[in-house]
Structure 1
Amino acid sequence: MTGSFSDASDFVVVGAGLAGAATAWQLAAGGHDVTILERTVPASHDGSSHGSARIFRYAYPDEFYTRAVIESKVLWDELEAASGLELITPFGAVDYGPERQPEHLARVLAGAGVDHELLSVVEARARWPHIAFDTSVLWHPGAGVIDAEGSVNAMIDQAVKHGARLLTGWDVAGVEKRGSGYRVRSAAGGQIDAGNVIVSAGGWLPGLLGRLGLPDGFLAGLPEITVRQEQAYHFRYRELSGSQPEWPTFIHKSAAIQTYGLPGGRDASFAGQKVAEYNGGKLIPSAAAQTGAVDPDNRRRVVDYVQKYLPGLDPEPYAETTCLFTNTPTEDFLIDRAEGLTVLSPCSGHGAKFAPLIGQWAADLATGTGEVPARFRQATARISAN
């Protein structure tokens, strides 16, 4: 649905990526009047939630996040049941490398009751001969691959079924305080009055912050938000001697480079593994400045990595793409509120797996019915401290 007109809604959600769609779903399911404003279309290809391949995993060095994944999985299961879709395909995950500390990760998973194994290099190479492991390896079979675009559309569908409205082609230009509520303006001249506004604009957030009517103290207390134009490459699977198990997702972290990989799904025509350097892209002011051009130095680093560590892949990428990472200094999310404005940014390339839970947190914060972990409310904490 498109349009440029004056209207009103109790809750307006800006942005129909994973976090915005999840928030709209939770709000609408709670019986609230919700309008979703999307600059182009849900899970747009120049945003952070496009495509079919994001890692779902439990392994975190911080037990807080592992337990949050467990909470999130309950909501994923609800979404799959409601939509009738498989949104997370199980592949399992391996974590390794001298800086990844697989032994520590194993202790965290053990404390949280997550099924896992800690394997020696020899054991891991016997199980996955197509990966050249350089340390002990954490394996947890409950990991998998999220269909990001399918998940966004499933959550939007659920929101609409509960009465939400989706307006596409609605590029938000700013938000103004009006009485006890807000007026949201579009670049095309449309406007919607709202009692509450939730801004989940991904890589566009840095360019919007100054136009949201946020109090100065709150704005000054927000963590620094930076945007990187990341690159990802698809490498074809090739046959090795003997039978090969299915490729898992992986995170490999050394002092020289941190990489991740996962079966590419539709993004790779089901023919290869998606491999990328974590936070290896260039800094840009906001998503509006992205070029879509792949950095040849980054391509060279990743190709060199594949040649050295992934013998089961043809080291010549057959497809490549760029994407956006919106980062905070601590890699914690931003879910904070000032008056009737909620600012939402699941940052640093690891938010997809938490999408339904982030939506629940944001909806609870916007309605005042629940709490958000304090680590995600830095601006509020700084204001309170002063």
Structure 2
Amino acid sequence: MTDIAGRFDHIVLGAGGIGSATAYWLAQSGSTSVLCLEQFDLLHELGASMDYSRIIRHAYNSTDYTALTGASYETWGEIEEATGLTLVTRTGGLDIGPEHRVGPYANALEATGHPCERMDSGELTKRWPQWTVRDTDVAVFQKDSGILDIRAASYAHVALAKSAGVSFVDRTPVTRIVEFPDRVEVVTDKGVFVGRTLSVCGGSWSPMLFEGLGVRNPIAVSHEQVCYWATQNLKAFSTREFGIWIYHDEGETYYGFPVFGLPGTKAGRDEPHDLIDPTTRSWDVREDNLEQVESFMRAHLPEALGPRIFARACCYDLTPDRNFLVDKVAGSQRVSLFCGAGHAAKFASLMGKIMAELAVEGGSKYPIDPFRWDRPAITDPDFASTLVVAGQDMA
């Protein structure tokens, strides 16, 4: 006889940024029987939801996202009100690069009513002399861009969810998921947890859970990393003097932060070259990646550099078109999945709310049709991946 460890209305897999938000919003929906399973320690540092900062912004090169960013900011405001924490720090933000790379960001912002400023390289370096750019570069500035304290946000969702009665069980890896007409069974070494619905928010571990669902795995995983430097120019790169930035080069995309969380600057590269097997991942930092980022910084933001404070490796969970996947799993009535494609932290609370809506109501009031399961990027095994194609850079 199957060892039933517990029965719940709703089960969430993963207690990171998205999973903890999903658990909280399920409780807010009125659900009184919610379980969140975590394979590691609760609020561990191996996933994508730790570290001090993530970029939050309206600026995207597609209205698919700029149509959602306003709701994302509003949702974070609700979490700040509920906890008394400051989770979003507005610094303003720049998208910099050649016109054909940067122009679509201004177009998408303007199309959805988000104000922005376009400027040439001369105006950019006059306002922010920290920058050295090509004469042909242009920039788009958006005043509401800033920093999401992703570590505090994850802690906040867990605390709120616990206070609302959500059960968290950590150190419990899932070995198999089986869906039946009237339930979903989640198999672990602590027994089988049975739920009416299941929300999979496993990030880069999600690909390992598809076998029991009988569907093709559409998610790839890449090795990524960031670095902090102890700049001597703290005031020039403070949040009062300098904002978040994304530099869209022809072959690479770089992103970075002012001083926040630590007395140093932070930057990384955002073009997933290094696809890996998630079952044999390594958290080792790769020197060639760091040298490439530091070479960029010496050329464009030399005063931001200093001795390395530390570097951190992480992973992206990626769809072939680098767009979100938020939907019921193909053929399923009870299992939903979220894939953030390496740029979801800024949307974490909103996506948790949407995942809760999918579980409770079967659909969402938010405009998520572009991120459905039945698009070619997910269903067509011959879809031409755009993971490293210019224009799909989503830092």
TM-score (norm: length of structure 1): 0.88
Match of 1:284 in 2: 276
Contact 2:231/2:307 (8 A) holds in 1: no
Contact 1:102/1:118 (8 A) holds in 2: no
Question: 1:214-253 alignment to 2 at 5 Å?
Answer: 214=213, 216=214, 219-220=215-216, 224-239=218-233, 246-253=241-248
SS of corresponding position for 1:101: helix
Contact 2:11/2:34 (8 A) holds in 1: yes
Count residues with an aligned counterpart.
367
Distance in 2 between residues matched to 1:71 and 1:241, nearest whole Å: 32
Match of 2:266 in 1: 274
Contact 1:9/1:194 (8 A) holds in 2: yes
Match of 1:258 in 2: 253
Q: Which letter maps to 1:109? A: L
Q: Which letter maps to 2:142? A: H
SS of corresponding position for 1:246: coil
The offset of 1:31, in angstroms, is 0.9
Distance in 2 between residues matched to 1:243 and 1:206, nearest whole Å: 39
Return closer, same or farther for 1:275/1:8 CA change in 2, 3 Å cut-off. same
**Aligned with residue 302 of structure 1, among 293, 296, 300:** 293
Match of 1:21 in 2: 20
Match of 1:209 in 2: 210
The offset of 1:16, in angstroms, is 0.7
Match of 1:367 in 2: 360
Contact 2:54/2:147 (8 A) holds in 1: yes
The offset of 1:19, in angstroms, is 1.1
Match of 2:337 in 1: 343
Distance in 2 between residues matched to 1:37 and 1:100, nearest whole Å: 44
Return closer, same or farther for 1:325/1:243 CA change in 2, 3 Å cut-off. closer
The offset of 1:229, in angstroms, is 1.2
Contact 1:131/1:309 (8 A) holds in 2: yes
Return closer, same or farther for 1:242/1:27 CA change in 2, 3 Å cut-off. closer
Q: Which letter maps to 2:183? A: G
Distance in 1 between residues matched to 2:63 and 2:130, nearest whole Å: 30
The offset of 1:369, in angstroms, is 5.0
The offset of 1:176, in angstroms, is 2.3
SS of corresponding position for 2:232: coil
Q: Does 1:185 align with 2:187?
A: yes
SS of corresponding position for 1:12: strand
Q: Which letter maps to 1:168? A: D
The offset of 1:280, in angstroms, is 4.6
The offset of 1:305, in angstroms, is 0.6
Distance in 1 between residues matched to 2:182 and 2:66, nearest whole Å: 39
After superposition, the CA RMSD in angstroms is 2.4
The offset of 1:138, in angstroms, is 0.9
The offset of 1:316, in angstroms, is 4.5
Q: Which letter maps to 1:173? A: T
The offset of 1:132, in angstroms, is 1.3
Alignment deviations for residues 6-52 of structure 1 (CA, whole Å, 9 cap, x no partner): 11100000001111111111111011121111112344211111111
Distance in 2 between residues matched to 1:173 and 1:240, nearest whole Å: 47
SS of corresponding position for 2:302: coil
Match of 2:47 in 1: 47
Q: Which letter maps to 1:20? A: G
Return closer, same or farther for 1:99/1:38 CA change in 2, 3 Å cut-off. farther
Contact 1:303/1:315 (8 A) holds in 2: no
Distance in 2 between residues matched to 1:364 and 1:231, nearest whole Å: 33
Distance in 1 between residues matched to 2:124 and 2:375, nearest whole Å: 46
Structure 2 residues without counterparts, runs of 5 or longer? 380-395
The offset of 1:83, in angstroms, is 0.9
Question: 1:320-331 alignment to 2 at 5 Å?
Answer: 320-331=311-322
Contact 1:342/1:362 (8 A) holds in 2: yes
Identity of paired residues, percent?
A: 27
Return closer, same or farther for 1:346/1:42 CA change in 2, 3 Å cut-off. farther
The offset of 1:64, in angstroms, is 2.0
SS of corresponding position for 1:131: coil
Q: Which letter maps to 1:8? A: R
Match of 1:118 in 2: 118
The offset of 1:169, in angstroms, is 1.4
Match of 1:36 in 2: 36
Contact 2:61/2:106 (8 A) holds in 1: no
Distance in 1 between residues matched to 2:180 and 2:270, nearest whole Å: 42
Return closer, same or farther for 1:344/1:103 CA change in 2, 3 Å cut-off. closer
Distance in 1 between residues matched to 2:11 and 2:106, nearest whole Å: 42
Return closer, same or farther for 1:42/1:147 CA change in 2, 3 Å cut-off. farther
Q: Which letter maps to 2:19? A: G
Match of 1:312 in 2: 303
Distance in 2 between residues matched to 1:82 and 1:105, nearest whole Å: 32
Match of 2:349 in 1: 356
Q: Which letter maps to 2:194? A: D
Return closer, same or farther for 1:316/1:164 CA change in 2, 3 Å cut-off. same
Structure 1 residues without counterparts, runs of 5 or longer? none
Q: Which letter maps to 1:30? A: S
Distance in 2 between residues matched to 1:63 and 1:306, nearest whole Å: 30
Distance in 2 between residues matched to 1:63 and 1:179, nearest whole Å: 37
Distance in 2 between residues matched to 1:6 and 1:124, nearest whole Å: 59
Q: Which letter maps to 1:345? A: C
The offset of 1:192, in angstroms, is 1.4
Match of 1:84 in 2: 84
Q: Which moved more, 1:294-303 or 1:105-114?
A: 105-114
Match of 1:107 in 2: 107
